[in-house]
Structure 1
Amino acid sequence: MLNDRNVLFGLHELEGVGWKTIDRLASGVSGAYTELVRAEPGDLVAFGLKPNVAHGICARLTEAYIEQRLEAYERHGTSFLTALDSDYPALLREIAQPPWILYYRGDLKTLELPAIAMVGTRSPTVYGRKISFELARDLSANGVCVASGLARGIDSCAHRGALTGAGSTAAVLGCGPDTVYPVENASLYAEIEEKGVLVTEYPLGTQLKPGLFPQRNRIISGLSLGTVVVEAASRSGSLITADQALEQSRDVFAVPGPVTSPKSSGTLELIRQGAKMVASVEHILEEYRGLVPFGGSRREIGTRPDISASEEERKLLGLMAAVPVTFDELLMLSGMEFGHLHSVLLNLILKKKIAPLAGSSYMTL
């Protein structure tokens, strides 16, 4: 069926069409993506595309092509979520370049749970393996989804720990959904598909490229309330995820290690720069009291705690009762400090009481 959702999917499937190109086209047709199937190259050039790109899109983006790609995903057993969908993760929608499409395998409801990202070195010490497994296990036992990248080392330990609890885990791939990388994680991939969710912004058939992995890190942090770094050298790729978490106004936590260990130099530097030091799961959960069922019993995937709004949340809901309100207006009207207001708004988004809009505005649901 030809609709805006499927045309956006088809556009995303075209080789050589990236995030910015789709953004230009989305603005050009004001979100009416079906118009692109009938567009002429000159129309797309008027939206800011180069003539050769415009001709390529018009030649390939046909109803037959879209149907062909939809059938390919159905055969593969992979589903997808678009930025147009109401169940697109609210926190991910807030980042600078949210994925237009999220391909997934497994239980999508895993992404409805509060999430904490956990990343670190691909060659951890025994200490790092133990801590990442135990922290992830305890987060999951408290109904928190643990997001990571299915890489060797800390990522794998975090996924395995999280699979033992109700929060389970979300693996964000740096390749297409038809590729298991690294290959030794094939059984872990299968277990996450069964008990959690695997997500990627890369289509079927995407070849492994080093540059794709740093790019996916923004999704790991973007899905999460905060990012925990366990063992990272001073130039570790894990620090990219921590940097992106900070850019997204998310919390950054770091696990300390021996000052003599090169694998702890990055985490110790994060702590020196202001990241919260973590020695137990309580040091993470205490930042989200009222949002995460701190110390509570395990829950089944897809169920959400019945959390009533706090007095501050009710105050903000009252200010947004009639029309969308900007962050600056809420800052002035509420009397809250910048960081605290952002935290309360995040709570309301995750409780699905408000929705973020363009221009740093918010409205009640």
Structure 2
Amino acid sequence: MKNRKVVPGLLEQMRDTLAALHETEGVGWETINTIMAKDGLKDAALRRPAEWRELGLSVRRSEAVAASLESRRMEQRRARWEKTGLSVITAMDPDYPDLLRHIYRPPWVLYYIGRLELLARPQVAVVGTRQATIYGKRAAEDLSAAFSHAGLAVTSGMAKGIDAAAHAGALRGSGGTVAVLGSPADVVYPPENRVLYRRIVEEGLIVSMTPPDVSIHPGMFPMRNRIIAGLSLGVVVVEAASRSGALLTANEAIKENRDVFAVPGPISSPRSRGTLELLRDGAAAQVLEAEDVIKHYRRYLGGVRIPAMPSYSEPELTEQEARIFRLLADGPASAEELCHRSGLTFGLLHAVLISLQIKQRIHQQPGSVYIAL
């Protein structure tokens, strides 16, 4: 995608037109690319379906595009954005991020709420599993705080677990944070991140390529991962299972020649399996402290002192606690299953489970099912 210069007076018109095309059912990246290649945005709102067909669109798409560009529909679209606080940036805008512009099939349209200037800052992505351990969340938050203090914006996907911890840590510093959503930018997903979402709206930036009023579905998230990687100089994976969205983000970063880093975790934890595989296979550089990442981007930051990460250690476990934790590390289990597999009496098991919850190593789910953290 080339960075085309646009006469300022035409920029708003082209932005509205691109957004209208992007929101038209059946019109995807290739269709818009075809239209752009033939300078198809000129006087787009005045075109009849037959004229769109001359640009290579099918009859059905031509009619849909012409209807989407009607003045009434355009006004409804702008009113919708204004009501929800959404703004739009397109690939034709001079503020569109250069790094993102050069990925494979960069999004033509991004919806955003918050501080657009954060897109111009050097960014590092911090991603990981939704089912994060306390160790993982602490590492993600502390690393992100250090990155932000150094002047790097921290980018993530605002999912539960590592993503949420990364955003929270970044908000402790001055670098800011960018949340890339798979859902529309004005939809809080997951709902339990509502407080975090509001903070990012006020202090950071929410970004999505998903149009308003589109229902959430799994197909939205691979593109979200590509945008996270595309915006970032490098991707830090804190905790990830062997097959996880965080590893997909890392793979996108590798495809786009971005740096990939991984935080090592215990070999006994399934949540660290993916990060350990990245390190074993030489696909990622090891992160033991924030400086391991920041030193690669010093030229973007100037002379900034990096605060040291606070030391953190897991609470020690008794022999019985360690036995139960190892069983849960293999997967969720009920109290009855744990009693049978561990050989502990039910009374002792109950005491051990309470102790592990106090130490925040396990969590009880509905139905007396326990999971390791």
Same fold (TM over 0.5): yes
2:359 maps to which residue?
Answer: none
Q: Is the 8 A contact 2:68 2:74 kept in 1?
A: no
Q: Which range moved further: 238-247 or 63-72?
A: 63-72
1:284 maps to which residue?
Answer: 293
Q: Which range moved further: 40-49 or 19-28?
A: 40-49
Change (3 A) 1:231 1:144: same
2:253 maps to which residue?
Answer: 245
1:295 maps to which residue?
Answer: 304
SS in 2 for 1:3: helix
CA deviation map 1:227-258 (0-9, x unaligned): 00011011111111001011111111111111
Shift of 1:294: 5.1
* Residues 1:174 and 2:182 are matched in the alignment: yes
The residue identity in structure 2 corresponding to 1:13 is E
Q: 2:266 aligns with which of 253, 258, 265?
A: 258
CA deviation map 1:64-89 (0-9, x unaligned): 21122112111211111111111111
SS in 2 for 1:290: helix
1:92 maps to which residue?
Answer: 100
Flag structure 2 segments of 5+ consecutive residues without an equivalent.
1-9, 308-373
Q: 1:3 aligns with which of 6, 9, 13?
A: 13
- 2:269 & 2:51 partners in 1: Cα distance? 58
Q: 1:78 aligns with which of 57, 61, 86?
A: 86
Change (3 A) 1:289 1:103: same
- 1:67 & 1:9 partners in 2: Cα distance? 12
SS in 2 for 1:170: strand
TM-score, reference length from structure 1:
0.78
The residue correspondences of 1:1-365 to structure 2 (distance < 5 A) are: 3-28=13-38, 30=39, 33-274=41-282, 275-293=284-302, 295-296=304-305
CA deviation map 1:199-226 (0-9, x unaligned): 1011111111011012211111111000
The residue identity in structure 2 corresponding to 1:288 is Y
Larger Rg: 2
CA deviation map 1:316-337 (0-9, x unaligned): xxxxxxxxxxxxxxxxxxxxxx
- 1:104 & 1:214 partners in 2: Cα distance? 19
- 1:289 & 1:56 partners in 2: Cα distance? 49
- 2:289 & 2:303 partners in 1: Cα distance? 13
The residue identity in structure 2 corresponding to 1:272 is R
Q: CA-atom RMSD, angstroms?
A: 1.7
Shift of 1:40: 3.2
Q: Is the 8 A contact 1:178 1:205 kept in 2?
A: no
- 1:73 & 1:220 partners in 2: Cα distance? 23
Q: Is the 8 A contact 2:291 2:306 kept in 1?
A: no
Q: Is the 8 A contact 1:140 1:168 kept in 2?
A: yes
Q: Which range moved further: 141-150 or 53-62?
A: 53-62
SS in 2 for 1:220: helix
The residue identity in structure 1 corresponding to 2:48 is E
- 2:104 & 2:231 partners in 1: Cα distance? 13
Q: Number of paired residues?
A: 296
Shift of 1:297: 8.2
Shift of 1:7: 1.2
Shift of 1:273: 2.3
1:332 maps to which residue?
Answer: none
Q: Which range moved further: 9-18 or 106-115?
A: 9-18
- 1:7 & 1:189 partners in 2: Cα distance? 29
SS in 1 for 2:237: strand
Flag structure 1 segments of 5+ consecutive residues without an equivalent.
299-365
Change (3 A) 1:218 1:55: same
- 2:303 & 2:150 partners in 1: Cα distance? 6
Shift of 1:55: 2.0
- 1:293 & 1:284 partners in 2: Cα distance? 15
Q: Is the 8 A contact 1:143 1:293 kept in 2?
A: no
SS in 1 for 2:103: coil
